[in-house]
Amino acid sequence: MGGLSTHVLDEVKGKPAPNVKVKVYRVNEEGKTKYLHTAKTDKEGRVGSLLTPKEMKEGTYEIHFFIGDYFDKQGTEGADEFLDEVPLRFKVTDPKQHYHVPIVAAPGGYSTYHGS
C-alpha cells in the first residue's frame, strides 16, 4: 500500500479547509531537509498523494502546512496573530504502510494524529 496523504480541517468553521498549500520534505540524519513536493488541499481539505508508495522510504519527514495564509484568505479573526507555517515532523518506520497525517487547525493552535 504505502504512500503519504493529509487532510486539513478548519476548526473555526467545523469543515474541511480547501486550498491550503502543503510542502513535504525528507529530513536527513543531520536534520537538514530536502524538498520533495508542493500540493494544495482539494475542496474536501485533502491531498490524497503527497508521496506515492514508490517514493516512501524509511526515515524522517516533515509536512509544512501554510495555515496562516489559509486563515488570512478566509478573513478569519485573529489569523495574523499566531500561526503561520506549521511544520510537522514524523517518522516512517514501515514504508509499505500508508501514512495519513492530518491536522485540525484554528488561528490559535492545531492538533494532529496518525490517521488511517
Q: Which residues contribute to the annotated binding site for substrate?
A: 7, 46, 113
Cβ distance 108 to 78 under 8 Å? yes
Binding-site residue set: 7, 46, 113
**Best CA proximity match to 62, nearest among 41, 20, 32:** 32
